[in-house]
Structures are given as structure tokens and as C-alpha cells.
């Protein structure tokens, strides 16, 4: 029996998806071949960042009924699993009771990420149990540090405990990374070291995860949180509910009861605008808006027109693709507002619809604020009005129908952006401007989070540190951080003791803190993706997912999926949606199918495989 060694580096959801595809094809393993699948990850298999040990107040950002790890109807969705496992809802908490107490988990529940971790581990266990005897799994609970290419197309993967895995195929699925300290990090950390003796509340947190590290922030200290996104909501939850506070009431009547152990929390960002809440889902589990204007065919037509007119098929996103997307949003807005079908060929994106969409895209346009109090009133009114729209639902609210378009046309966006589909400068503008905008209007938090934000502001626990365009500096004289904002009535400066950067790092191989990334680069086995002079991040791969070396050649039998390739690919970090085709599963399918095709060609790879006449059991952990 000849044994093929497969190594999956990273066993979060992406690595789990690779294992699932292997399991599905394992019955087709060619005669005379066996397979050992080595999983390299220090955590629980399947969970990745969705640890089942994290606090229950950290929520998933998608209704659980739309999350699944199974293609088609091959297994239960997140909601179906929670129901079958006996989970019930008690107010905003979920407990496994197995009886009729509490309320049933329903299709609109945003479940805790700790439950998602349980679900992912359950999927992992089920997948391993489905494997035939010729396929074995071993979990190396350590991080991969290095990979060396051996003779032929084999690799040696080295892990931090000193073990070396000789591998015929390698799949890189490492998920989110962490940057090496930036210039700002160094300045802020040095400021804290030099001034901590004068302010024992002083602290800097370049990364808030795991959120337990925020317990170092003292009650009563003033803490600035940079960001209004999903990570910021995690930070706020950790410093409020995670400190023993509680919410009473529901929705617009929600109020916060402090524990007394909270710090004073002040939020700020470049625009100081919150993420809009997601509308009540009225489309069902698999319902999706079908575009009429910003379609894959339309993108292909734009590309052909660009090729003919300027000899370059790359698009200018703002000038060519964005007008179609805005028109699509206007069409959704108009049809929902009038509650009638309007033939697409009859629709004109007129001034009224354009003004409505522009108000969503840029609510600060033409506005000035006298002072921070004036901006705070605007902010509270903005969140309140957005929640009213969200409660109407994504098929009843014209605004939420329009913003939901962005979620539902991701394939068109991918067709426009992926593999240097935009000119370098347009790609830069897209990532710097449009991606944050899309996140703000279409990929916001559960409604509950914004109701909580209003309740925390009303309770005086959360405030705004500044307004649009605010500036973060250090104040050595006060031994505190300072946030300055210019308003029509003058400049406002707020001082804080601790600073939390509430955003996830983009994966740039050259600045990632992972030894594996550094060693792969040093060996020339990978190269950063580049669109001309612009490097948006991620590792370069071909359209089959094979890693491209420094020389630009495809690395035989080595693939990458998910966040490490966010750069050549676009929007890789969401879990599959129940009842719908997913890039998540498509990428895994393509890689594993490519491996399977190689296995069918036994003669060319025979010299790379190692004979194992006495296959001994490998323990699964």
C-alpha cells in the first residue's frame, strides 16, 4: 500500500472545508493508495477564531439560519444543529436544556460565536467519522513554522514542537494573521512605557483579541476605542456586559444597568459613523436579490469595451463599475418604495433615487457641526433612524433593500476585482474607499448591537471621543492619549488613558508576524500578490489556488485558500450560506479536485510517494 501524505496548515473553517472535500472524494481514492491527513493547528479542530471557550456575549454577525458548513442538504445549518443539540433562548442567552423551557432558536437568531465553535467541532468530528479506513487523520496541536520544498514535488512542513511532516500535498488555510508592530504601534507602546509611572491606567492595545486581555483596563479609566465596526462592538461588550453590567428591556426600550466596574468608553474613527444595522431578513434562508444591471455579464461587457477602447481589459471601478452598482441600488430602492414590479428596461436612475442612495453612501455630505454635542445628537438620531429602517425589513424598507443589494451582488464585485481586474490605482481606491463603505452600509452588526449602543450612550457609559476627521495624538504633559476634532465652533480635545485599536489586520506577507510567512517568503516559495505597483495584500495564487513562487511559477501540489489569498481574490472571509453556492466551498472543491486529478496520474508521482507496508493506526485528537 502506498501512502499519500496531505498536510492542512490551519484547521479553522477553511481547513475544515478542505477536509470535508477530501472526505467526499475519499471513496474514489485510486486502488493501492492510502492517505494520511495531517492537521497543523494549536486549537480545537474546525473552530479557528470561533473558539467555543470565548465569552457568550460575542455574537456571530450573520443570522445562524444562513450559516452552514455543508453544501446543498448534506448536513444541518448552524440553526438546525443548535435546535437538534437542545439549545434554547433565555432573553439574550442560549443554554442547552434539551427540554421545552425558554424559547426555540429561530431563523432570525444571531447566536454566540462560542456556539459556532461547537458547531464547527461537531462538523469536524462527523467528517472524520465518515472517512474510510484508508484515510487517517492526525492533529498536530502546534503552529507550523516553516516549509521546505524537497526533491520532486514533496515538502517538509516543520512545526514548533520540532516535528517534521513529509508531505505530498499542502493546503495553506491559516486564516487571519497579526502584523508586526507598525510605526504607530512603536510610538504608542513607547509612550506608554515612558509615562506609565505617571498614569497607572495608561495602556495600548494594538489588537483586542482575545478580549480577556482587556480586563487589564481599570474600572473608571477612560478608554478610547478606534473603530465602529464589529470588532469595536466586541470590545464594548467585553468592557460592559463582560464586566457584570446588564441590559433590561428590549429594542427601543432597552436600558443599561452598570455594574460599576466599567471604564468610561469613548468611540472614534476617521468618519465617526457607525455600521448600519442589518434589516430583518424577509428573504428566507436562501433568498437573494437578482441583479438587473450590475451582473457578471455586464462586467464582462465592460471589460471587453475597455479592451477595445484602450487596449487594457482592467476596469476603472469608480468610472465604469460603480455606476452600475449605484443604479442597481436605486432600482431596488424604487421597486420597494413603490411596492410594485418595474421592468428593468423601463427604470431610470433619476435625481430622487440618486439623492436617496447618495444619502446612504455619504450621510455627512454638506453637513457641518457646531461642536461635539451637536455631532453626538446627529449620531444618536442617525442610529435611531437606521434601526427604524432595519425593523421594517430588507424587503419592506427601501433603504435596507438598497443596501442589501451590495451583499447579493458579491459575485459581480468579484468578477470586477479579482486577479487584478482593476487598474492599480483604481484597485487602491476600491480597497481604501469602497470596501469600508460597503462594510458600513451592508455588513453591519445585528440590530441588537446598535440598540445596546444607544442604551450605553444614554447611560453615560459610552460616548464619542470626537467627530469626523478627528486626530489621535499623545499628550506627554498629561500622560494621556488625546483625540482632537475641529468643529465650526472650535476644536474639541478629549483625553483618555487607554487606547484600543478595534480592527482586524489585513494579511500582508511582508509585515505579518507569522514565522511561517517569513520563512515561505525567504525560501521564495511564495510571493505577495501585486497589481502592478499596488500591493493590496495576500499571497499570489493561480486560478486553481496553487501558490505562485517568487519566480512566478505555480508551486506543485501546494494550495492556499481563504484569508491568506485576500488580494488576488476578493471577500474570502465569510462562511457558506445555507441553500446557496458559495465561493468558500468552490475554492476548497477546486483545490481538492486538482489534488485528486494528480492522484489519478499515479505514474508521474510514484517517485514522490513513500511506501508504507505496515500502516499503523494514527490517533485522532
Residue 166 sits in a domain whose CATH number is 3.50.50.60
Residues 417 and 325 in one domain: yes
CA atoms within 13 A on the CB side of 582: 23
Query: Which CB contacts under 8 angstroms, 24+ apart, belong to 101-109?
Result: 105/64, 105/79, 106/65, 106/79, 107/63, 107/64, 107/65, 107/79, 107/281, 107/285, 108/63, 108/65, 108/280, 108/281, 109/63, 109/64, 109/65, 109/79
* Residue 576 confidence class, pLDDT cut points 50, 70, 90: confident
What is the structure's pLDDT at 554? 95
pTM score > 0.85 for this model?
Answer: yes
Sequence-distant (≥ 6) Cβ neighbours of residue 486 within 8 angstroms:
469
What is the structure's pLDDT at 613? 38
Residues 491 and 590 in one domain: no
Grid cell listed for 423: 487598474
Closest among 32, 33, 566 to 22, alpha carbons compared: 33
What is the structure's pLDDT at 243? 96
Task: Note whether residue 459 is domain-resident.
Answer: yes
Grid cell listed for 130: 465518515
Grid cell listed for 249: 428591556
Closest among 527, 522, 608, 607 to 564, alpha carbons compared: 527
Q: Is the pLDDT of residue 606 over 80?
A: no
Residues 316 and 424 in one domain: yes
Residues 235 and 266 in one domain: yes
Give the Cα separation of 317 and 428 in Å (integer).
10
Tell me if 484 sits within 8 A of 496, measured CB to CB.
Answer: no
Grid cell listed for 429: 481606491
Mean pLDDT in residue range 464-477: 97
Mean pLDDT in residue range 57-77: 90
Residues 431 and 331 in one domain: yes
DSSP state of 557: E
Paired residues of 77 in beta bridges? 68
Tell me if 588 sits within 8 A of 18, measured CB to CB.
Answer: yes
Sequence-distant (≥ 6) Cβ neighbours of residue 536 within 8 angstroms:
427, 428, 431, 529, 567
Q: Is the pLDDT of residue 440 over 50?
A: yes
Percent of the chain with pLDDT over 70: 97
DSSP state of 321: I
Mean pLDDT in residue range 365-383: 97
* CA 145 vs CA 57, 289, 343, 538: distances in Å: 33, 44, 57, 18
Q: Is the pLDDT of residue 611 over 50?
A: no
* Residue 286 confidence class, pLDDT cut points 50, 70, 90: confident
Range of lowest pLDDT (95-104, 181-190, 344-353, 593-602): 593-602
Query: Which CB contacts under 8 angstroms, 24+ apart, belong to 544-547?
Result: 544/590, 544/591, 544/594, 545/587, 545/590, 545/591, 545/594, 546/594, 547/172
Task: Note whether residue 91 is domain-resident.
Answer: no
> Of 161-165, 579-583, 599-603, which one has max mean pLDDT?
161-165
In terms of phi and psi (left: phi > 0; alpha: psi -120 to 50; beta: otherwise), the region of 382 is alpha
Of 438, 455, 473, which residue is a domain's last? 438
Residues 430 and 557 in one domain: no
Mean pLDDT in residue range 40-52: 93
Sequence-distant (≥ 6) Cβ neighbours of residue 331 within 8 angstroms:
292, 293, 342, 344, 347, 349, 353
Residues 555 and 590 in one domain: yes
* CA 312 vs CA 246, 427, 431: distances in Å: 57, 15, 21
Grid cell listed for 259: 455594574
Residues 319 and 338 in one domain: yes
Average pLDDT value for the chain: 93
Q: Is the pLDDT of residue 245 over 80?
A: yes
* Residue 177 confidence class, pLDDT cut points 50, 70, 90: confident
* Residue 72 confidence class, pLDDT cut points 50, 70, 90: confident
Percent of the chain with pLDDT over 90: 85
Helix (H, G, I), strand (E, B), or coil: what is residue 144? strand
Q: Is the peptide bond before 316 cis (omega within 30 degrees of 0)?
A: no
Q: Is the pLDDT of residue 481 over 80?
A: yes
Residues 324 and 406 in one domain: yes
Give the Cα separation of 188 and 8 in Å (integer).
37
What is the structure's pLDDT at 265? 98
In terms of phi and psi (left: phi > 0; alpha: psi -120 to 50; beta: otherwise), the region of 244 is left
The tally of domains found in the chain comes to 3
Residues 158 and 131 in one domain: yes
Q: What are phi and psi of 100, to 5 degrees?
A: -95, 10
What is the structure's pLDDT at 603? 36
Of 501, 516, 543, which residue is a domain's last? 501
Residues 491 and 532 in one domain: no
Domain limits for position 174: 10-39+121-179+506-601
What is the structure's pLDDT at 608? 40
Grid cell listed for 465: 471621543
Task: Note whether residue 269 is domain-resident.
Answer: yes
Task: Note whether residue 94 is domain-resident.
Answer: no
Task: Note whether residue 62 is domain-resident.
Answer: no
Residues 480 and 429 in one domain: no
Q: What are phi and psi of 157, to 5 degrees?
A: -100, 125
What is the structure's pLDDT at 572? 87
Give the Cα separation of 380 and 560 in Å (integer).
43
What is the structure's pLDDT at 607? 39
Task: Note whether residue 193 is domain-resident.
Answer: yes
Mean pLDDT in residue range 180-184: 93
Instruction: Assign 3-class secondary structure to 108-138.
Output: CCCCEHHHHHHHHHHHHHHHHHCCCCCEEEE
Tell me if 38 sits within 8 A of 6, measured CB to CB.
Answer: yes
Of 477, 501, 525, which residue is a domain's last? 501
Give the Cα separation of 108 and 398 in Å (integer).
20
Task: Note whether residue 556 is domain-resident.
Answer: yes
Mean pLDDT in residue range 372-379: 98
What is the structure's pLDDT at 261? 97
What is the structure's pLDDT at 153? 84
311-321 pLDDT, tens per residue? 999 999 999 99
* Residue 605 confidence class, pLDDT cut points 50, 70, 90: very low
Give the Cα separation of 431 and 524 in Å (integer).
27
Task: Note whether residue 51 is domain-resident.
Answer: no
* Residue 451 confidence class, pLDDT cut points 50, 70, 90: very high
Amino acid at each position: 500500500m502506498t501512502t499519500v501524505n496531505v498536510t492542512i496548515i490551519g484547521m479553522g473553517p477553511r481547513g475544515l472545508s478542505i477536509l470535508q472535500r477530501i472526505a467526499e472524494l475519499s471513496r474514489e481514492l485510486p486502488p493501492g493508495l492510502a492517505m494520511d491527513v495531517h492537521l497543523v493547528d494549536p486549537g480545537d479542530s474546525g473552530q479557528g477564531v470561533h473558539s467555543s471557550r470565548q465569552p457568550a456575549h460575542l455574537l456571530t454577525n450573520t443570522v445562524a439560519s444562513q450559516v452552514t458548513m455543508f453544501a446543498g442538504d448534506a448536513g444541518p445549518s448552524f440553526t438546525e444543529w443548535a435546535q437538534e443539540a437542545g439549545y434554547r433562548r433565555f432573553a439574550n442567552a442560549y443554554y442547552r436544556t434539551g427540554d421545552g423551557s425558554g424559547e426555540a432558536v429561530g431563523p432570525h437568531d444571531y447566536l454566540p460565536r462560542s456556539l459556532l465553535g461547537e458547531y464547527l467541532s461537531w462538523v469536524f468530528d462527523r467528517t472524520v467519522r465518515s472517512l474510510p479506513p484508508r484515510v487517517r487523520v492526525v492533529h498536530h496541536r502546534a503552529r507550523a513554522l516553516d516549509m521546505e520544498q524537497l526533491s520532486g514535488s514533496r515538502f517538509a512542513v516543520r512545526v514548533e514542537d520540532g516535528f517534521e511532516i513529509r508531505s505530498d500535498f499542502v493546503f495553506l488555510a491559516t486564516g487571519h494573521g497579526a502584523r508586526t508592530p507598525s510605526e504607530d504601534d512603536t510610538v504608542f507602546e513607547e509612550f506608554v512605557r515612558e509615562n506609565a509611572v505617571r498614569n497607572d491606567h495608561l495602556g495600548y492595545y494594538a489588537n483586542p483579541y482575545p478580549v480577556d486581555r482587556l480586563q487589564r483596563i481599570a474600572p473608571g479609566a477612560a478608554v478610547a476605542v478606534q473603530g465602529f465596526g464589529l470588532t469595536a462592538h466586541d470590545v464594548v461588550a467585553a468592557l460592559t456586559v463582560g464586566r457584570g453590567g446588564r441590559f433590561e428591556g428590549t429594542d427601543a426600550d432597552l436600558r443599561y444597568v452598570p455594574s460599576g466596574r466599567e471604564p468610561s468608553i469613548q468611540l472614534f474613527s476617521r468618519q465617526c459613523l457607525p455600521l448600519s444595522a442589518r434589516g430583518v431578513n424577509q428573504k428566507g434562508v436562501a433568498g437573494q436579490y437578482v441583479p438587473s444591471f450590475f451582473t457578471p455579464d455586464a462586467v464582462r461587457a465592460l471589460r471587453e469595451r475597455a479592451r477595445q477602447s484602450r487596449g487594457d481589459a482592467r476596469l476603472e471601478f469608480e468610472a465604469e463599475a460603480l455606476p452600475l452598482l449605484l443604479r442597481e441600488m436605486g432600482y431596488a430602492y424604487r421597486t420597494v418604495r413603490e411596492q410594485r414590479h418595474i421592468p428593468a428596461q423601463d427604470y431610470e436612475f433619476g435625481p430622487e433615487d440618486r439623492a436617496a442612495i447618495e444619502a446612504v453612501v455619504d450621510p455627512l455630505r454638506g453637513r457641518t457641526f457646531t461642536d461635539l454635542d451637536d455631532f453626538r445628537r446627529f449620531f444618536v438620531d442617525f442610529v435611531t433612524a437606521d434601526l427604524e429602517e432595519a425593523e421594517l425589513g430588507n424587503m419592506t424598507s427601501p433603504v435596507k433593500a438598497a443596501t442589501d443589494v451590495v451583499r447579493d451582488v458579491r459575485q459581480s464585485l468579484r468578477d470586477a476585482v479579482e486577479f487584478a481586474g482593476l487598474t492599480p490605482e483604481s484597485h487602491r481606491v476600491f480597497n481604501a474607499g469602497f470596501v469600508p463603505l460597503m462594510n458600513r452600509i451592508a455588513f453591519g452588526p445585528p440590530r441588537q448591537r446598535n440598540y445596546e449602543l444607544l442604551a450605553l450612550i444614554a447611560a453615560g457609559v459610552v460616548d464619542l471621543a470626537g467627530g469626523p476627521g478627528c486626530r489621535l495624538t499623545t499628550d506627554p504633559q498629561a500622560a494621556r492619549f488625546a483625540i482632537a476634532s475641529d468643529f465650526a465652533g472650535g476644536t474639541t480635545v478629549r483625553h483618555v488613558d487607554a487606547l484600543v485599536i478595534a480592527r482586524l489586520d489585513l494579511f500582508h506577507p511582508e509585515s505579518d508576524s507569522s514565522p511561517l510567512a517569513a520563512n515561505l517568503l525567504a525560501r521564495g516559495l511564495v510571493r505577495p500578490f501585486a497589481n502592478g505597483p499596488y500591493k493590496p495584500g495576500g499571497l499570489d495564487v493561480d486560478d486553481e489556488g496553487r501558490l505562485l513562487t517568487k519566480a512566478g511559477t505555480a508551486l506543485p501540489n501546494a494550495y492556499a485558500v481563504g484569508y491568506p489569498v485576500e488580494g488576488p481574490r476578493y471577500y474570502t472571509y465569510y462562511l457558506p450560506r445555507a441553500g446557496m453556492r458559495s465561493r468558500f466551498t468552490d475554492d476548497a472543491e477546486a483545490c481538492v479536485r486538482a489534488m485528486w486529478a494528480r492522484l489519478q496520474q499515479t505514474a508521474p508521482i510514484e517517485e514522490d510517494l513513500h511506501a508504507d507496508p505496515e500502516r499503523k493506526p494514527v490517533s485522532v485528537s
